[in-house]
Amino acid sequence: MNLRFELHERVRCNAAVRGAEGAAWLARLPRLVAELESAWGIKVGRIFPNATEAYVSEASKANGEQVVLKVPLAGSEKSARELGMLQAANGRGYVRLLRYDPESGAMLLERLGPQLAQMNNPVDKQIEIICATLQSAWMPLPHGMYAMTGGKKADEMAAYIQLVWPKLGEPCSRRAVAVALRFAAARRNAFDPASAVLGHGDAHGWNTLYDPKAGNFKFVDPDGLFIERAHDLSISMREWSADLLAGDPVILGRQRCELLANLTGVDPVPIWQWGFIERLVNGLLYLERGPAENAAEFLDVVEAWALTEPS
């Protein structure tokens, strides 16, 4: 058995969703990796266990430099956005892109250190680090680059809620859904390209890695959204549910929102609204795609938050 291709089950599931295209990607992967090893002068090692939409492995160059090989699933729209962002960032706030294969979408990336989520920092310290990294990473939309706008993102999330909530048997209150849809409409209407930035889209502790060379942090796996800064900050409103449920989730949620606003100078209202939407959508996603047991903490916080909002 070749341990280099023992992919995470989520990768195999996401490949299966793509049908014949995904099956062909899986079948070709060992040969493609061997071709890239030869073409790029690298030796591939163990895979990273947390990947969900790509083959991601350790690799080393002939000179001993440690790098990362990433081969996205065939037909992945996200990989094209990721490539554009990494090219535009050129190592500022994001992992540095070293090489790229246009046929397969494979990328050779600099090797970074541990994920922030694994470094045992208190939640407030993790938030501080994520905010500082975002402020380094935010940039204008490069000329000619396509990215989903904040307005479209809000519409997409609202449409998902309206489709999946009844299909799953209405797993949270109608009030919570109504609040989320109202907030989504507010964020859609507030989208302004003059103040929007090219944002990460999913800036959490598992996507924030320590850079031992610079002594700071960089992001990996960007979604690539042209959106208001508040959306990137709202991901921290979505995470660390247990901390919010350890006390009053409303008081603790508002305190976290104020912390994010104070660290970045961003209005807390859109941070709160995006955070509410993100929490509800992620709860529904876990119920729809699994593991379902992860959904409860997201929805429990949303229900508490919803009670403080007009429906």
Is the pLDDT assigned to residue 307 strictly greater than 70?
yes
Helix (H) or strand (E) holding 107: strand 107-110
- The pLDDT of residue 4 is 63
The string over 196-216, giving b where at least 16 C-beta atoms fall within 10 Å of a residue's C-beta and e elsewhere, is: bbbbbbbbbbebbbbbeeeee
This prediction has a pTM of 0.93
- Summarised one tens digit per residue, pLDDT across range 217-239 is 999 999 999 999 999 999 999 99
Q: In this model, does residue 49 exceed pLDDT 90?
A: no
Please state the rounded mean pLDDT for residues 22-39. Answer: 93
pLDDT value at 145 more than 60: yes
Amino acid at 74: A
Q: For the sheet containing 66-72, what is the strand order? A: 42-47, 54-61, 66-72, 107-110, 97-100
Tally of CB atoms within 10 A around 168: 15
Taking the C-alpha atoms of residue 139 and residue 85, their distance in angstroms, rounded to an integer, is 10
pLDDT at 13 over 90: no
Grouping H, G, I as helix, E, B as strand and the rest as coil, residue 41 is coil
Q: Examine the pLDDT at 87 and tell me if it is beyond 60.
A: yes
Helices 20-40/9-17 angle, 10° precision: 120
113 CB-near residues (< 8 Å, 6+ apart): 209, 210, 211, 212
Asked which of 30-39, 48-57, 155-164, 168-177 is least confident by mean pLDDT, the reply is 48-57
Q: What is the pLDDT of residue 296?
A: 97
Q: Which pLDDT score, from 0 to 100, does residue 1 have?
A: 38
pLDDT at 124: 98
Q: How confident is the model at residue 310 (pLDDT cuts 50, 70, 90)?
A: confident
Domains in the chain and their CATH numbers? 3-110 (3.30.200.20), 116-306 (3.90.1200.10)
Rounded to 10 degrees, what is the CA torsion of 157, 161, 162, 167? 140
Residue 311, pLDDT > 80, answer: no
The secondary structure of residue 225, as a DSSP letter, is E
List pLDDT tens digits, range 115-144. 999 999 999 999 999 999 999 999 999 998
User: What is the Cα–Cα distance from 101 to 284, expressed in whole angstroms?
Assistant: 36
The contacts of residue 303 (CB under 8 Å, 6+ apart) are: 172, 173, 176
Q: What's the rounded mean pLDDT across residues 80-91? A: 93
Q: Per DSSP, which regions of 150-264 are E strands?
A: 197-199, 208-211, 216-219, 225-227
Predicted confidence at residue 74, as pLDDT, reads: 84
Percentage of the chain exceeding pLDDT 90: 85
